């Protein structure tokens, strides 16, 4: 069972992650994407909001997104408790601090704002979008990397 | 569900919303989510260090995973469309294209920056939380704040 406990090879992970697209379509008719879950959660909390982005959001059609991300959390729970990998550090220890929490809050802000403004994340745009030959998704993916590289190579000295 | 009939600014009524998914549909979604959560964790895609090394060009690992995933998904979609496959509820599978607009560039860049700092994109954030990394709750809280901020600023932002 060792192969199940070790981190998996890239090609296995890649194939299985890619299969999420047809699996989700075939079993539920839904397009693989994750960042909509932020909007769905917000719309569920404030369905009568003055903000049309929330009140005009179709909560029933997108309910699946919060079920899906709950599933992700459950899957990770299973993987870390029942199929433990060699590592347990999702985040480096430096993040276990007030400063670390603030960095993550800011990073999260950029993720939440950015993915919603772009209309998708690495799942919805990079994988599902490009797989369906959606050229805006290729553009989105390019700029995901522009942003990530700029931060890593530019501001990296202060952040890391 | 005629959107134009709803006066602008009114919340979407219960009738105007589409009907929900069947119980089987939700169970499938939960199961596939769990499958993905296991994958994010076992593939180390949810590890900050792997993402950092990706942006440093020190490891091809994540690039390889993403590339393979895209190729597999692309072949799958080609077959799904070619064979005219339908989902379990009998609907033909059709991709709804995400449109291009200014947000793709500005929002995309912002998200990329956040991805590099947090070492996680949205899916892996949930995986980190489920895996017991409670600091990822800060990332999620930030994401919700960011989403609300976008919702508030949306009418003023270029699209």
- CB within 8 Å of chain B, chain A residues 32-91: 32, 34-35, 37-39, 41-42, 47-61, 63-64, 67-80, 83, 85, 87-91
pLDDT at A88: 65
Q: Is B151's Cβ below 8 Å from some Cβ in A?
A: yes
Alpha helices in B2-46 (DSSP H): 23-42
Q: Output phi, psi for B92, to 5 deg.
A: -65, 140
Q: How many CA atoms lie within 13 A of B91 on its CB side?
A: 14
Q: Can you tell me the ipTM of this complex?
A: 0.93
Q: Within 10 Å of residue B43's Cβ, how many Cβ atoms?
A: 27
Q: pLDDT tens digits, chain B, 159 residues: what are they?
A: 444 454 555 677 666 666 678 999 999 999 999 999 999 999 999 999 999 999 999 999 999 999 999 999 999 999 999 999 999 989 999 999 999 999 999 999 999 999 999 999 999 999 999 999 999 999 999 999 999 999 999 999 999
Instruction: Give the end-to-end CA distance of chain A in Å, rounded to a whole number.
Output: 37
pLDDT at B6: 47
pLDDT at A81: 86
pLDDT at A18: 98
What pLDDT, in 10s, does the model give residues A123-132? 999 999 999 9
pTM for this one?
A: 0.92
A63:B21 CB<8 A: yes
B127:A47 CB<8 A: no
Q: Is B53's Cβ below 8 Å from some Cβ in A?
A: no
CB–CB of B93/B29 below 8 Å? no
């Amino acid at each position: 069972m060792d192969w199940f406990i070790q981190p998996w090879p890239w090609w296995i992970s890649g194939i299985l992650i890619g299969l999420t697209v047809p699996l989700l379509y075939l079993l539920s008719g839904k397009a693989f994407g994750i960042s909509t879950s932020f909007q769905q959660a917000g719309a569920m909390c404030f369905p009568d909001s003055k903000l049309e982005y929330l009140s005009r959001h179709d909560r029933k059609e997108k309910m699946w997104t919060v079920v899906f991300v709950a599933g992700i959390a459950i899957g990770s729970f299973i993987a870390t408790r029942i199929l433990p990998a060699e590592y347990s550090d999702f985040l480096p220890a430096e993040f276990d601090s007030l400063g670390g929490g603030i960095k993550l809050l800011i990073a999260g802000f950029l993720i939440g704002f950015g993915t919603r403004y772009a209309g998708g994340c690495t799942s919805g745009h990079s994988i599902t979008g490009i797989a369906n030959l959606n050229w805006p998704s290729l553009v989105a993916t390019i700029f995901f990397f522009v942003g990530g590289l700029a931060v890593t190579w530019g501001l990296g000295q202060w952040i890391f | 569900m005629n959107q134009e009939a709803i006066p602008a600014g009114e919340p979407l009524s219960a009738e105007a919303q589409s009907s929900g998914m069947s119980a089987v549909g939700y169970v499938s979604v939960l199961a596939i989510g769990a499958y993905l959560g296991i994958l994010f964790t076992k593939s180390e895609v949810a590890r900050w260090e792997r993402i950092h090394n990706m942006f440093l060009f020190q490891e091809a690992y994540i690039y390889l995973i993403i590339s393979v995933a895209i190729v597999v998904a692309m072949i799958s979609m080609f077959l799904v469309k070619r064979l005219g496959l339908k989902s379990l509820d009998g609907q033909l599978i059709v991709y709804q294209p995400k449109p291009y607009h200014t947000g793709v560039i500005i929002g995309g860049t912002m998200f990329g920056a956040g991805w590099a700092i947090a070492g996680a994109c949205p899916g892996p954030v949930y995986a980190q939380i489920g895996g017991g990394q409670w600091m990822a709750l800060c990332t999620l809280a930030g994401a919700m704040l960011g989403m609300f901020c976008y919702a508030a600023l949306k009418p003023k932002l270029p699209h």
